[in-house]
Amino acid sequence: MLVYLKKWSVCALLMMAASASAYSAPKTVLVLGDSLSAEYGLNRGAGWVALMEQKLKAEKIDAAVVNASISGETTSGGRARLPALLTQHKPDIVVIELGANDGLRGLPVPAAEANMRTMIELAQKNKARVLLVGIRIPPNYGRDYTERFFGMYKSLSTQYKAPLVPFMLDGVADKPALFQADRLHPNAQAHPIILANIWPQLLALVTSR
């Protein structure tokens, strides 16, 4: 019986070690976004992506962050750039934070949705998990357009079983003091709030197998 218990203990420890190793395996996180993720108007290191990288390190989570965000980026631009980014960085997780510029320009929702769908499918085909980051746009083009645009993210999340941050500016959008002079881009004080909105979903991905 003692020998059996010792053998069981050794096996259990090995299984636990293997499990811990799987969960702590290094991961690469690719962020594909627009000015909301590209530190527009901010000092370097003040944006939510940089803060996320700092938080990962502080919590001793082995993950490399690649911020491929570009100010002014649209879903069509992200779609065009993603194949090369996947080949170059081979990410385990792709965070897609796009759509705001499509919406501000009043571009057709079906076109934006098709671009998003292509990016999700391409990332998943390359064995990467996708995190969608949603945005609400001002009602410049009417309530129907605004709601259809916002609903696009939930629809894609459900279709592709991809986790979703419904609104990255939750807790920010209704506070003018958290925006830069252009009233479009969050200031440095807003970005910790943005990270707090995104962090739970991201953490679940980087700590999973």
Sole residue written with tokens 């991201």: 202
DSSP state of 164: E
Rounded to whole angstroms, how far apart are CA atoms 82 and 115?
Answer: 11
Catalytic residue among 24, 71, 170, 185: 185
Report the distance separating Cα 100 and Cα 102, nearest Å: 5
Centroid of chain to Cα 148? 21
**Catalytic residue status for 102:** no
Active site residue 35: yes
Please count the CA atoms within 13 angstroms of the CA of 50 that sit on its side-chain side. 12
Among residues 34, 35, 102, 157, the one annotated as catalytic is 35
3-state SS, residue 67: strand
Please give the span between the terminal C-alpha atoms of the chain, in angstroms, as a whole number.
Answer: 35
DSSP code at position 174: T
Please tell me which residue in 102, 170, 182, 191 is annotated as part of the active site.
182
* Known catalytic residue at 9: no
- Within the chain, where are the H helices? 2-23, 48-58, 75-89, 100-104, 109-125, 143-160, 191-206
**For the sheet containing 129-133, what is the strand order?**
63-67, 27-33, 93-97, 129-133, 164-165
Catalytically annotated residues: 35, 182, 185
